[in-house]
Protein backbone atom coordinates (compact mmCIF):
# COMPACT_ATOMS: atom_id res chain seq x y z
CA UNK A 1 0.00 0.00 0.00
CA UNK A 2 2.86 2.39 0.89
CA UNK A 3 4.54 1.61 -2.44
CA UNK A 4 1.28 2.34 -4.25
CA UNK A 5 0.86 5.68 -2.50
CA UNK A 6 4.50 6.62 -3.21
CA UNK A 7 4.18 5.65 -6.87
CA UNK A 8 0.94 7.59 -7.21
CA UNK A 9 2.53 10.66 -5.62
CA UNK A 10 5.53 10.51 -7.96
CA UNK A 11 3.25 10.08 -10.98
CA UNK A 12 1.12 13.06 -9.97
CA UNK A 13 4.24 15.17 -9.46
CA UNK A 14 5.48 14.21 -12.93
CA UNK A 15 2.09 15.09 -14.46
CA UNK A 16 2.03 18.46 -12.71
CA UNK A 17 5.58 19.18 -13.91
CA UNK A 18 4.66 18.38 -17.52
CA UNK A 19 1.55 20.51 -17.29
CA UNK A 20 3.57 23.40 -15.90
CA UNK A 21 5.87 23.56 -18.93
CA UNK A 22 4.17 25.53 -21.69
CA UNK A 23 5.49 26.68 -25.06
CA UNK A 24 4.03 29.71 -26.77
CA UNK A 25 4.88 30.64 -30.36
CA UNK A 26 4.73 34.37 -31.00
CA UNK A 27 5.23 36.04 -34.38
CA UNK A 28 5.66 39.79 -34.37
CA UNK A 29 5.84 42.09 -37.39
CA UNK A 30 5.45 45.73 -38.31
CA UNK A 31 1.75 45.02 -38.89
CA UNK A 32 1.32 42.85 -35.78
CA UNK A 33 3.50 44.45 -33.13
CA UNK A 34 1.96 43.00 -29.96
CA UNK A 35 0.68 39.69 -28.60
CA UNK A 36 -0.68 38.70 -25.20
CA UNK A 37 -0.16 35.31 -23.57
CA UNK A 38 -3.08 34.76 -21.18
CA UNK A 39 -2.44 32.40 -18.25
CA UNK A 40 -4.64 31.62 -15.29
CA UNK A 41 -2.35 33.52 -12.94
CA UNK A 42 -0.71 36.13 -15.22
CA UNK A 43 -0.77 38.05 -18.48
CA UNK A 44 2.44 38.19 -20.51
CA UNK A 45 2.56 41.06 -23.02
CA UNK A 46 5.12 40.69 -25.84
CA UNK A 47 5.65 43.64 -28.19
CA UNK A 48 8.14 45.18 -30.62
CA UNK A 49 9.92 48.02 -28.87
CA UNK A 50 12.12 49.14 -31.76
CA UNK A 51 13.60 47.96 -35.07
CA UNK A 52 15.71 49.29 -37.91
CA UNK A 53 14.57 46.85 -40.58
CA UNK A 54 17.26 44.28 -39.73
CA UNK A 55 17.34 43.94 -35.96
CA UNK A 56 15.27 45.13 -33.06
CA UNK A 57 14.22 44.79 -29.43
CA UNK A 58 11.25 42.98 -27.94
CA UNK A 59 9.60 44.14 -24.72
CA UNK A 60 8.12 41.56 -22.35
CA UNK A 61 5.76 42.66 -19.56
CA UNK A 62 4.34 40.42 -16.85
CA UNK A 63 1.13 41.25 -15.01
CA UNK A 64 0.27 39.26 -11.87
CA UNK A 65 -3.44 38.28 -11.91
CA UNK A 66 -3.23 36.17 -8.76
CA UNK A 67 -4.90 38.13 -5.96
CA UNK A 68 -3.31 36.03 -3.21
CA UNK A 69 0.18 35.09 -4.31
CA UNK A 70 3.42 36.64 -5.51
CA UNK A 71 5.18 35.74 -8.78
CA UNK A 72 8.97 35.51 -8.67
CA UNK A 73 11.59 35.47 -11.43
CA UNK A 74 15.19 34.79 -10.45
CA UNK A 75 18.17 36.17 -12.34
CA UNK A 76 20.55 33.30 -11.49
CA UNK A 77 20.71 29.76 -10.14
CA UNK A 78 20.75 30.45 -6.40
CA UNK A 79 21.01 27.60 -3.88
CA UNK A 80 18.64 27.29 -0.91
CA UNK A 81 21.13 28.72 1.55
CA UNK A 82 21.56 31.89 -0.50
CA UNK A 83 17.87 32.67 -1.06
CA UNK A 84 17.15 32.11 2.61
CA UNK A 85 19.59 34.92 3.49
CA UNK A 86 18.09 37.45 1.08
CA UNK A 87 16.46 40.67 2.48
CA UNK A 88 13.15 38.95 1.84
CA UNK A 89 13.96 35.46 3.06
CA UNK A 90 12.84 32.82 0.54
CA UNK A 91 12.31 29.15 1.29
CA UNK A 92 10.68 26.20 -0.44
CA UNK A 93 7.30 24.89 0.69
CA UNK A 94 7.42 21.40 2.14
CA UNK A 95 5.40 20.08 -0.81
CA UNK A 96 7.87 21.51 -3.36
CA UNK A 97 9.72 18.77 -5.24
CA UNK A 98 13.42 17.98 -4.90
CA UNK A 99 15.81 17.11 -2.10
CA UNK A 100 15.70 19.53 0.79
CA UNK A 101 18.76 21.81 1.13
CA UNK A 102 20.05 20.65 -2.29
CA UNK A 103 17.55 22.39 -4.55
CA UNK A 104 18.76 25.07 -6.95
CA UNK A 105 16.69 27.88 -8.42
CA UNK A 106 15.81 27.67 -12.12
CA UNK A 107 16.76 31.15 -13.46
CA UNK A 108 15.27 33.41 -16.13
CA UNK A 109 17.16 33.10 -19.44
CA UNK A 110 17.27 36.83 -20.18
CA UNK A 111 19.61 39.63 -19.10
CA UNK A 112 18.06 40.23 -15.68
CA UNK A 113 20.35 41.34 -12.86
CA UNK A 114 18.03 41.01 -9.86
CA UNK A 115 15.26 38.92 -8.33
CA UNK A 116 11.94 40.23 -9.63
CA UNK A 117 8.86 40.10 -7.40
CA UNK A 118 5.40 40.64 -8.89
CA UNK A 119 2.85 41.31 -6.17
CA UNK A 120 -0.90 41.01 -6.90
CA UNK A 121 -1.86 43.42 -9.74
CA UNK A 122 1.79 44.39 -10.34
CA UNK A 123 2.90 44.85 -13.96
CA UNK A 124 6.60 45.21 -14.75
CA UNK A 125 8.89 45.16 -17.80
CA UNK A 126 11.64 42.58 -18.19
CA UNK A 127 14.96 43.58 -19.82
CA UNK A 128 14.57 44.04 -23.60
CA UNK A 129 15.27 40.98 -25.74
CA UNK A 130 17.34 41.37 -28.93
CA UNK A 131 15.89 39.87 -32.13
CA UNK A 132 16.93 39.82 -35.79
CA UNK A 133 14.76 39.88 -38.88
CA UNK A 134 13.23 36.50 -39.75
CA UNK A 135 14.92 34.67 -36.87
CA UNK A 136 13.44 33.18 -33.72
CA UNK A 137 14.66 33.65 -30.16
CA UNK A 138 13.57 31.56 -27.18
CA UNK A 139 12.85 33.35 -23.92
CA UNK A 140 12.41 30.95 -21.01
CA UNK A 141 10.44 32.15 -17.99
CA UNK A 142 10.55 29.88 -14.91
CA UNK A 143 7.87 31.66 -12.85
CA UNK A 144 7.74 30.73 -9.18
CA UNK A 145 4.41 31.16 -7.42
CA UNK A 146 4.94 32.13 -3.79
CA UNK A 147 3.14 33.52 -0.76
CA UNK A 148 4.20 35.75 2.11
CA UNK A 149 4.42 34.27 5.54
CA UNK A 150 5.03 35.76 8.98
CA UNK A 151 3.49 38.81 10.57
CA UNK A 152 6.13 41.16 9.14
CA UNK A 153 5.62 39.85 5.57
CA UNK A 154 9.39 39.56 5.19
CA UNK A 155 9.46 35.91 4.20
CA UNK A 156 8.39 34.17 0.99
CA UNK A 157 7.40 30.55 0.60
CA UNK A 158 7.84 29.06 -2.89
CA UNK A 159 4.76 26.94 -3.62
CA UNK A 160 5.28 25.81 -7.23
CA UNK A 161 7.07 26.60 -10.49
CA UNK A 162 5.49 27.26 -13.89
CA UNK A 163 7.85 27.29 -16.89
CA UNK A 164 6.73 29.30 -19.91
CA UNK A 165 8.84 29.23 -23.09
CA UNK A 166 8.22 32.11 -25.48
CA UNK A 167 9.38 31.25 -29.00
CA UNK A 168 9.48 34.74 -30.50
CA UNK A 169 9.96 35.36 -34.21
CA UNK A 170 10.18 38.85 -35.65
CA UNK A 171 9.58 39.90 -39.26
CA UNK A 172 10.41 43.52 -40.04
CA UNK A 173 9.55 45.56 -43.08
CA UNK A 174 12.49 47.50 -44.51
CA UNK A 175 12.74 50.89 -42.82
CA UNK A 176 11.66 54.07 -44.60
CA UNK A 177 15.28 55.19 -44.45
CA UNK A 178 16.51 52.08 -46.27
CA UNK A 179 13.71 52.18 -48.84
CA UNK A 180 14.49 55.84 -49.58
CA UNK A 181 18.22 55.21 -50.10
CA UNK A 182 17.54 52.07 -52.16
CA UNK A 183 15.13 53.97 -54.42
CA UNK A 184 17.72 56.70 -55.03
CA UNK A 185 20.29 54.05 -55.97
CA UNK A 186 17.90 52.24 -58.30
CA UNK A 187 16.74 55.50 -59.90
CA UNK A 188 20.34 56.54 -60.56
CA UNK A 189 21.20 53.19 -62.14
CA UNK A 190 18.04 53.32 -64.25
CA UNK A 191 18.74 56.88 -65.39
CA UNK A 192 22.28 56.00 -66.41
CA UNK A 193 21.15 52.90 -68.33
CA UNK A 194 18.28 54.71 -70.04
CA UNK A 195 19.95 57.97 -71.06
CA UNK A 196 23.58 56.89 -71.36
CA UNK A 197 26.44 59.36 -71.79
CA UNK A 198 26.85 60.93 -75.20
CA UNK A 199 30.51 61.48 -76.20
CA UNK A 200 29.65 63.39 -79.38
CA UNK A 201 31.50 66.75 -79.38
CA UNK A 202 28.26 68.43 -80.49
CA UNK A 203 26.37 67.21 -77.40
CA UNK A 204 25.55 69.70 -74.67
CA UNK A 205 26.57 69.35 -71.90
CA UNK A 206 29.93 67.83 -72.74
CA UNK A 207 30.80 64.25 -71.89
CA UNK A 208 32.99 65.52 -69.02
CA UNK A 209 30.11 67.47 -67.48
CA UNK A 210 27.70 64.55 -67.97
CA UNK A 211 30.08 62.25 -66.09
CA UNK A 212 30.69 64.85 -63.39
CA UNK A 213 26.92 65.08 -62.79
CA UNK A 214 26.62 61.34 -62.23
CA UNK A 215 29.82 61.20 -60.16
CA UNK A 216 28.44 63.88 -57.83
CA UNK A 217 25.17 61.97 -57.41
CA UNK A 218 27.08 58.79 -56.59
CA UNK A 219 29.27 60.62 -54.07
CA UNK A 220 26.26 62.21 -52.38
CA UNK A 221 24.47 58.87 -52.12
CA UNK A 222 27.51 57.09 -50.66
CA UNK A 223 27.92 59.89 -48.11
CA UNK A 224 24.28 59.56 -47.04
CA UNK A 225 24.64 55.78 -46.72
CA UNK A 226 27.76 56.20 -44.56
CA UNK A 227 25.94 58.74 -42.39
CA UNK A 228 23.06 56.30 -41.86
CA UNK A 229 25.44 53.48 -40.90
CA UNK A 230 27.24 55.77 -38.43
CA UNK A 231 23.95 56.98 -36.91
CA UNK A 232 22.90 53.37 -36.20
CA UNK A 233 26.30 52.53 -34.73
CA UNK A 234 26.58 49.37 -36.84
CA UNK A 235 29.77 47.33 -37.16
CA UNK A 236 30.74 45.09 -40.08
CA UNK A 237 29.16 42.11 -38.29
CA UNK A 238 25.68 43.66 -38.23
CA UNK A 239 23.07 42.76 -40.88
CA UNK A 240 22.15 46.41 -41.29
CA UNK A 241 25.76 47.28 -42.11
CA UNK A 242 25.92 44.54 -44.74
CA UNK A 243 22.62 45.59 -46.29
CA UNK A 244 23.58 49.25 -46.56
CA UNK A 245 27.13 48.59 -47.82
CA UNK A 246 25.62 46.40 -50.57
CA UNK A 247 24.14 49.63 -51.96
CA UNK A 248 27.59 51.24 -51.90
CA UNK A 249 29.03 48.22 -53.72
CA UNK A 250 26.40 48.62 -56.43
CA UNK A 251 27.27 52.31 -56.78
CA UNK A 252 30.99 51.54 -56.97
CA UNK A 253 30.25 49.10 -59.79
CA UNK A 254 28.62 51.74 -62.00
CA UNK A 255 31.16 52.12 -64.78
CA UNK A 256 30.42 55.42 -66.51
CA UNK A 257 32.70 54.66 -69.46
CA UNK A 258 30.65 51.59 -70.38
CA UNK A 259 27.54 53.77 -70.75
CA UNK A 260 29.02 56.03 -73.41
CA UNK A 261 26.97 55.98 -76.59
CA UNK A 262 25.96 58.52 -79.16
CA UNK A 263 22.47 59.76 -78.50
CA UNK A 264 21.82 59.92 -82.27
CA UNK A 265 20.79 63.54 -82.34
CA UNK A 266 24.01 64.93 -83.86
CA UNK A 267 24.17 63.28 -87.29
CA UNK A 268 25.59 65.41 -90.10
CA UNK A 269 24.78 64.58 -93.72
CA UNK A 270 27.63 62.73 -95.34
CA UNK A 271 29.11 61.85 -91.96
CA UNK A 272 30.26 58.35 -91.18
CA UNK A 273 28.64 56.06 -88.64
CA UNK A 274 29.94 53.02 -86.80
CA UNK A 275 30.60 51.84 -83.28
CA UNK A 276 32.38 54.23 -80.92
CA UNK A 277 32.94 53.90 -77.15
CA UNK A 278 35.57 54.60 -74.53
CA UNK A 279 37.00 51.07 -74.94
CA UNK A 280 37.79 51.50 -78.62
CA UNK A 281 41.22 52.81 -77.67
CA UNK A 282 42.10 49.53 -75.93
CA UNK A 283 43.76 46.54 -77.55
CA UNK A 284 42.09 43.14 -77.47
CA UNK A 285 44.68 42.05 -74.92
CA UNK A 286 43.75 44.96 -72.64
CA UNK A 287 40.03 44.18 -73.04
CA UNK A 288 40.71 40.56 -72.08
CA UNK A 289 42.55 41.63 -68.92
CA UNK A 290 39.68 43.95 -67.94
CA UNK A 291 37.17 41.11 -68.35
CA UNK A 292 39.46 38.81 -66.38
CA UNK A 293 39.62 41.37 -63.56
CA UNK A 294 35.81 41.57 -63.50
CA UNK A 295 35.54 37.78 -63.36
CA UNK A 296 37.95 37.57 -60.41
CA UNK A 297 36.08 40.36 -58.61
CA UNK A 298 32.79 38.44 -58.91
CA UNK A 299 34.32 35.05 -58.05
CA UNK A 300 36.02 36.30 -54.87
CA UNK A 301 32.95 38.23 -53.66
CA UNK A 302 30.89 36.99 -50.70
CA UNK A 303 27.77 37.91 -52.69
CA UNK A 304 28.40 36.88 -56.29
CA UNK A 305 24.91 37.75 -57.46
CA UNK A 306 25.26 41.36 -56.30
CA UNK A 307 28.83 41.62 -57.58
CA UNK A 308 27.80 40.33 -61.02
CA UNK A 309 24.92 42.79 -61.21
CA UNK A 310 27.28 45.65 -60.36
CA UNK A 311 29.77 44.92 -63.18
CA UNK A 312 27.65 43.24 -65.89
CA UNK A 313 27.02 46.46 -67.82
CA UNK A 314 30.77 47.03 -68.08
CA UNK A 315 31.34 43.42 -69.19
CA UNK A 316 28.67 43.79 -71.89
CA UNK A 317 30.21 47.04 -73.14
CA UNK A 318 33.70 45.48 -73.31
CA UNK A 319 32.42 42.47 -75.22
CA UNK A 320 30.33 44.58 -77.60
CA UNK A 321 33.37 46.70 -78.40
CA UNK A 322 35.10 43.54 -79.68
CA UNK A 323 32.21 41.96 -81.51
CA UNK A 324 30.49 44.96 -83.12
CA UNK A 325 31.12 44.64 -86.85
CA UNK A 326 31.03 48.44 -87.20
CA UNK A 327 33.92 49.00 -84.75
CA UNK A 328 36.72 50.52 -86.81
CA UNK A 329 39.37 49.48 -84.25
CA UNK A 330 38.49 45.86 -83.50
CA UNK A 331 36.23 44.48 -86.26
CA UNK A 332 39.00 43.29 -88.56
CA UNK A 333 41.14 41.98 -85.67
CA UNK A 334 38.18 40.06 -84.25
CA UNK A 335 37.37 38.54 -87.63
CA UNK A 336 40.93 37.28 -87.99
CA UNK A 337 41.08 35.75 -84.51
CA UNK A 338 42.73 38.61 -82.65
CA UNK A 339 46.04 36.81 -82.11
CA UNK A 340 44.35 34.28 -79.85
CA UNK A 341 42.52 36.85 -77.71
CA UNK A 342 39.17 36.31 -79.48
CA UNK A 343 38.86 32.88 -77.89
CA UNK A 344 40.10 34.13 -74.49
CA UNK A 345 37.70 37.08 -74.44
CA UNK A 346 34.75 34.89 -75.45
CA UNK A 347 35.59 32.30 -72.80
CA UNK A 348 35.99 34.90 -70.04
CA UNK A 349 32.80 36.75 -70.99
CA UNK A 350 30.82 33.48 -71.00
CA UNK A 351 32.17 32.64 -67.54
CA UNK A 352 31.02 36.02 -66.22
CA UNK A 353 27.60 35.59 -67.79
CA UNK A 354 27.25 32.07 -66.37
CA UNK A 355 28.03 32.88 -62.73
Give the phi and the psi of residue 11 in degrees, each rounded to 5: -65, -45
Model pLDDT for residues 325-348, shown as the tens digit of each residue: 778 788 888 888 878 888 898 889
What is the spatial distance between Cα 218 and Cα 283, in angstroms, rounded to a whole number? 29
Q: What is the pLDDT of residue 1?
A: 53
Q: What is the pLDDT of residue 273?
A: 59
Report how far Cα 144 is from the mean position of its chain's Cα atoms: 36
Q: Are residues 193 and 259 in contact, defined by beta-carbon separation less than 8 angstroms?
A: yes
**pTM check: above 0.75:** no
Q: What's 331-350 look like in SS3?
A: HHHHHCCHHHHHHHHHHHHH
Kind of pairing, strands 70-73 and 89-92? Answer: unpaired
What is the spatial distance between Cα 301 and Cα 293, in angstroms, rounded to a whole number? 12
What is the spatial distance between Cα 95 and Cα 288, in angstroms, rounded to a whole number? 82
Residues 64-98: b if buried by 16+ CB within 10 A, e if exposed: bbbeebbbbbbbeebebeebeeeeeebebeeeeee
From the list 176, 187, 185, the residue with the least C-alpha distance to 222 is 185
What is the spatial distance between Cα 292 and Cα 347, in angstroms, rounded to a whole number? 10
Q: What is the pLDDT of residue 271?
A: 45
Q: What is the pLDDT of residue 32?
A: 82
Q: What is the pLDDT of residue 153?
A: 82
Q: What is the pLDDT of residue 270?
A: 42
Roughly what angle, to the nearest 10 degrees, separates helices 341-354 and 304-323? Answer: 150
Q: What is the pLDDT of residue 213?
A: 93
- Name the DSSP letter for residue 38: E
> Which portions of the chain are predicted below pLDDT 50?
2, 4-20, 268-271
Residues 6 or more apart whose CB falls under 8 angstroms from that of 144 comprise: 71, 72, 73, 74, 105, 158, 159, 160, 161, 162
Amino acid sequence: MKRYVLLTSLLMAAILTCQADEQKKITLSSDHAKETVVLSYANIFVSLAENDGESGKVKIEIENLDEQNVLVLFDRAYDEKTIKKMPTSITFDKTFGGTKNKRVIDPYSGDGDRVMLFRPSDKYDLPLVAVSNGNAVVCRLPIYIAKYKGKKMNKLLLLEKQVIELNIEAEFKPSAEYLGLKKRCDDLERELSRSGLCPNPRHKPSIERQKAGFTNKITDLKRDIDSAIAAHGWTSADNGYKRYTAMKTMLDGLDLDSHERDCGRHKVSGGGGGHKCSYCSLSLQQIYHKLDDLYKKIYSSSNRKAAKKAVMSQANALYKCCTDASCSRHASQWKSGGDGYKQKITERYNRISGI
